[in-house]
């Protein structure tokens, strides 16, 4: 199947082509026609499956069609919000916004991303100017609603992206308050990596006779990812991770820790070992988070240490290594974590450092996956700490096309 057969206009197809997407991914093949038909949709899609384009492209198509019906599109007056996309984290919202910008390059549409942690005034100003597609985290959207600076009564399409994570993060009441501000007649699209009972309940209360699409087995982890564990004493985890990075010459490593403190501490220790590292978590300012992510993407830092919430939705193409410094309390989070690698047809490795305290979590994860994760033994370990600090000569990794650009 090609993009041409999906009913998208030439402007959208041109933008997609420029992203070097040749064929629609399975979620795109299934979701795009349903969304274009106007039906509600519930989609279970693994991270990295191309689900964002799966909903953004048909929304752009419908929006372009609705704009062409307006007799005088340049008429003064506020641009009504056509689509509202809710996402759990600032990073994910920003990435959706980037994708919309890329895909709508040849369309006359306006989109805006709003999230907390940054000044609200510029967001209010932009809203006043009118936007067609609004991407928001629930909390900031409620702030804007309270200030009467956003009008949602015109919304035709609502997207709940990573709905499972929004529920995990306690956004259910915020979501319901936002939904109360929407018109009753609208199209609803719900995307979720997992299909828990809570998600089923939410979908029943929001969606009307939805079509459902599932592109991966529930809670399965991508086949592109090689998973293994190292058993190690808790006190030697940092030493082991430094050793692995040095010995294997890993260059772009995303490490998960359970706590913000743990993330900071590990990033500091690795930096002392000669491995450039930054931490990304909820206590960091938005500026610091954006910088850490940008530095990581362009190879300025070698390791990004993240907590689960901060890492949710990070889209770094070609990310080769994910390390679980400690295992997550919730087994499903393991699947989300390792889903940061092995994206869009690329291979990845997910390495977990398991100490005695992690064993109950390991058991829960293996039960969820329906397999046991192989162990690789490491002897006494050494290499470190004189690891060459610098990542390889700046081979920048382009986020979207996946092409390596030598600078």
Q: Does 400 bind ligand AMP (CB under 6 A)?
A: yes
If binding means CB under 6 A, how many residues of this protein chain bind ligand AMP? Answer: 16
- For residue 244, the minimal CB distance to ligand AMP (Å) is 26
Distance, in Å, from the CA atom of 48 to the CA atom of 222, rounded to the nearest integer, reads 9
* Neighbouring C-alpha atoms within 13 Å toward the C-beta of 372: 5
- For residue 17, the minimal CB distance to ligand AMP (Å) is 11
Nearer to ligand AMP, 16 or 127 (CB): 16
Distance, in Å, from the CA atom of 314 to the CA atom of 88, rounded to the nearest integer, reads 12
Binding mask 33-72 for ligand AMP (x = CB under 6 A): --------------xxxxxxx-------------------
- For residue 332, the minimal CB distance to ligand AMP (Å) is 17
Positive or negative, the CA dihedral 177, 310, 161, 68 is positive
Distance, in Å, from the CA atom of 393 to the CA atom of 346, rounded to the nearest integer, reads 22
Nearer to ligand AMP, 31 or 64 (CB): 31
* Neighbouring C-alpha atoms within 13 Å toward the C-beta of 160: 28
Q: Does 343 bind ligand AMP (CB under 6 A)?
A: yes
Q: Does 24 bind ligand AMP (CB under 6 A)?
A: yes
- For residue 50, the minimal CB distance to ligand AMP (Å) is 3
Nearer to ligand AMP, 96 or 279 (CB): 96
Partners of residue 274 on adjacent β-strands? none
- For residue 115, the minimal CB distance to ligand AMP (Å) is 17
Look at residues 182, 188, 174 and name the one whose alpha carbon lies nearest to residue 137: 174
Distance, in Å, from the CA atom of 369 to the CA atom of 362, rounded to the nearest integer, reads 10
Distance, in Å, from the CA atom of 358 to the CA atom of 98, rounded to the nearest integer, reads 37
Partners of residue 83 on adjacent β-strands? 133, 157
Nearer to ligand AMP, 265 or 396 (CB): 396
- For residue 213, the minimal CB distance to ligand AMP (Å) is 14
Residue at token pair 């959706």: 96
The binding site for ligand AMP (CB under 6 A) comprises 21, 24-25, 28, 47-53, 315, 317, 343-344, 400
């Amino acid at each position: 199947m090609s993009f041409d057969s999906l009913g998208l206009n030439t402007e959208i197809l041109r933008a997609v082509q420029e992203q070097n997407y040749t064929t629609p991914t399975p979620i795109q093949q299934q979701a795009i026609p349903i969304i274009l038909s106007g039906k509600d949709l519930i989609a279970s899609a693994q991270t990295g499956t191309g689900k964002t384009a799966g909903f953004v492209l048909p929304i752009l198509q419908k929006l372009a069609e609705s704009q062409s019906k307006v007799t005088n599109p340049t008429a003064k007056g506020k641009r009504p919000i056509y689509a509202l996309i809710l996402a759990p984290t600032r990073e994910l919202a920003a990435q959706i916004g980037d994708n919309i910008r890329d895909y709508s390059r040849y369309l006359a549409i306006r989109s805006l991303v709003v999230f907390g942690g940054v000044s609200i005034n510029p967001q209010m100003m932009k809203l006043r100017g009118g936007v067609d597609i609004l991407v928001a985290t629930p909390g900031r959207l409620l702030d804007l609603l309270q200030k009467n600076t956003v009008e949602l009564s015109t919304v035709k399409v609502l997207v709940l992206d990573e709905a499972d994570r929004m529920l995990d993060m306690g956004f259910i009441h915020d979501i319901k308050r936002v939904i109360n501000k929407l018109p009753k007649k609208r199209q609803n699209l719900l995307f979720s990596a997992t299909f828990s009972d809570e998600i089923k309940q939410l979908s029943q209360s929001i969606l009307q006779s939805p079509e459902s699409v599932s592109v991966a087995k529930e809670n399965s982890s991508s086949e592109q990812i090689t998973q293994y564990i190292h058993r190690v004493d808790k006190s030697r985890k940092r030493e082991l991770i430094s050793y692995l990075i040095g010995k294997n010459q890993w260059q772009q490593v995303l490490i998960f820790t359970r706590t913000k403190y743990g993330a900071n501490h590990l990033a500091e220790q690795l930096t002392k070992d000669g491995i450039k590292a930054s931490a990304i978590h909820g206590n960091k300012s938005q500026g610091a988070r954006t910088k850490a992510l940008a530095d990581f993407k362009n190879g300025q830092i070698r390791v990004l240490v993240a907590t689960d919430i901060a890492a949710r939705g990070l889209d770094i193409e070609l990310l080769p290594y994910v390390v679980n410094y400690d295992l997550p309390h919730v087994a499903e989070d393991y699947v989300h974590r390792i889903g940061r690698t092995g994206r869009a047809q690329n291979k990845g490795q997910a390495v977990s450092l398991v100490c005695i305290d992690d064993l109950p979590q390991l058991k829960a994860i293996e039960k969820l996956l329906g397999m046991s994760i192989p162990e690789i033994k490491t002897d006494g370990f050494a290499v470190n700490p004189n690891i060459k600090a610098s990542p390889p000569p700046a081979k920048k990794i382009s986020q979207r096309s996946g092409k390596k650009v030598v600078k």
